[in-house]
Amino acid sequence: MELQRKNKSLFIDKEAIFALLLCQEGLLYPVTHLMDEAKMLEVDKTGLYNNQRFPLSFILAPAGKRNEEIIKTATKGEVLDLVYNNQVYGTLKVDSSFFIDKKERLLKIMSGDIYSQKAQDIYRRLGNYAICGEYNIITSLANNCFDNRIAKDKILQFKKSTKAQSITSMVLDASPITRIHEHIFRLILDKNQLLILLLLRKQNEDLLDFQIRKECLEYVIENFLPKGKIMIFPLDNIYLFAGAHGIILDAILSQNLGCERIVIGENYPNLAIYYDHQKIHSIFDTTKNIKIKVKLLSEFVYCNQCNTIISTKTCPHGKHHHINYSSNFIQSILKAGLIPPTILVRKEVSAKILSHLFPKRFQHIIKQYQTMFSKNGILQEQSEEDFYLKLIELYQTHP
C-alpha cells in the first residue's frame, strides 16, 4: 500500500509493528488493545490487567517531534495511518491521547536498570505522548516484514491437524544450535507431542544474524529430529520483553499459542531462582493467573568420564571433567575461522556458519585441489560449505 492516503500519519518503527501484531493476534491476552491513561496507570501500579498478571502497560508512544504534534492535535474518531519505512502498515482510530513520563516508563520497562546501553536505546524511541484507540495492522504486510512469520492461527491449525494434546515452548537464540540444544529437544519430545521454539530475533545482532541461526536450526530439525514435532516461531526481542518481566511475557505468549508448558534453564536471565524449604522457586511463584506450567532445566555439560551429555546435578564427576557449551566460546572459535569440535556443534552446522562468515574464503583452493574433494572420482562443483564438510572428514580420518 503506497503512502498516498489523505489520513495523517504516525511514523512507527519495526518494534511497534511487531508489538501491535502480537496484541492483534491475541498473543498478549488478557491484553487485546492499546490502553488509555487510566488503564496505563492502573496496570503499571498493580501489575494486573482485569485481575490477571500483566507486568506493564501496553501503550503506543512513538518518538519524534512530528509524531508528538500529530498525537497532541488528534481528535477522537480521527483515523491515522501507521507508517513504517514509507509504507502504511495499518490504521488507528483515535480514542484519546495523553502525556507519559518517559523516565517512569523506562523504569517500569527495565525494572530499574536504566543506565545500560539497551535502556538508553529504548529511551530514545519513547515519545512524550501516547495515543490509544482501535487499530488494525495489515497482517500480510507485517508477516512479510518479519520474513513470512508463522502466525498464531497457523500454529493452532497445526495443533488441530496433528491432534497434539501436549505442547511445550522454549525460548532460545540458538547462537549457534549445539548438541545440548538437541539433547534438550529430545528430552522435551519424550513427554510432549509438539515443541514450539520461540527463536529470538535481536535488535542488534552479534556474530550470527537471525537468518543463519534460523537456517542452521531448521537444518538440524529437518535432518536429525522427529519429523513434524517442532515448529519455529520467530520472536522479535522488542522492548516489552527487555526487563526482568520479559520472562513473564514469554510465558503469556506461550500460553496464548496453546502451550501447556514452557521450558526454561535455571541460568536464564531474570528468572530469580531461589531455594526455600529444599524447593526451587522462581519469579513464577509470585505470579497470578498464569496457568502455564514451568519446567526448570539444570545445566547440561559433556562429561569426559561419563562420555555423554549429562546434567550437572546427576553427574558424579568434578567440574574439571566437564566441557561447557558456552555460546560465547563457540562463537569465538567460529569468529577465528576455526571449526568447533563436533562434540559441541554438528559439522554441518559449522560448515554452514563458516561459509556464511567467510564467503569465497577457499575458492582458489577448491579450484586448484578439486580432485581431493571429489566423490567417487567424479568431478563436481564444490561449494564453500562442501569444502568445510570434506575438510572435517579429513580431520577425522585415522588408521
Query: Of all helices (H) and strands (E), which one includes residue 254?
Result: helix 246-256
Q: Residue 245's pLDDT band (boundaries 50, 70, 90)?
A: confident
Query: pLDDT band at residue 23, thresholds of 50, 70 and 90?
Result: very high
CA distance 127 to 57: 15
Q: Is the pLDDT at 189 greater than 50, yes or no?
A: yes
Q: 40-49, 121-130, 387-396: lowest mean pLDDT where?
A: 387-396
Q: Which of 91-100, 134-143, 239-248 has the highest mean pLDDT?
A: 91-100
pLDDT of residue 274: 41
Q: What is residue 275's predicted lDDT score, i.e. its pLDDT?
A: 46
Span 316-336, mean pLDDT? 91
Higher pLDDT, 200 or 380: 200
| In the chain, % of residues over pLDDT 70 | 87
List, edge to edge, every strand of the sheet that includes 167-172: 230-236, 194-201, 167-172, 261-265, 293-297
CA 315 to mean position of chain CA atoms = 31
Cα 353 from Cα 225, distance rounded (Å): 20
User: Hey, how many other C-beta atoms are within 10 angstroms of the C-beta on 358?
Assistant: 13
Domains, the chain, in order of start with CATH, read 9-145 (3.10.400.10), 152-297 (3.40.50.620), 302-395 (no CATH)
Instruction: Give the pLDDT confidence of 261-292 residue by residue, as tens digits.
Output: 999 876 665 554 444 445 554 555 555 567 88
Neighbours of 277 (CB within 10 A): 5
Condensed to tens digits (0 to 9), the pLDDT of residues 340-394 reads 988 999 999 999 999 999 988 877 777 666 655 555 554 456 788 888 888 888 7
β-bridge partners, 230: 195
Asked if 17 contacts 145 with a C-beta cutoff of 8 angstroms, the reply is yes
The one-letter amino acid code at 67 reads N
Q: So what's the pLDDT on residue 204? A: 72
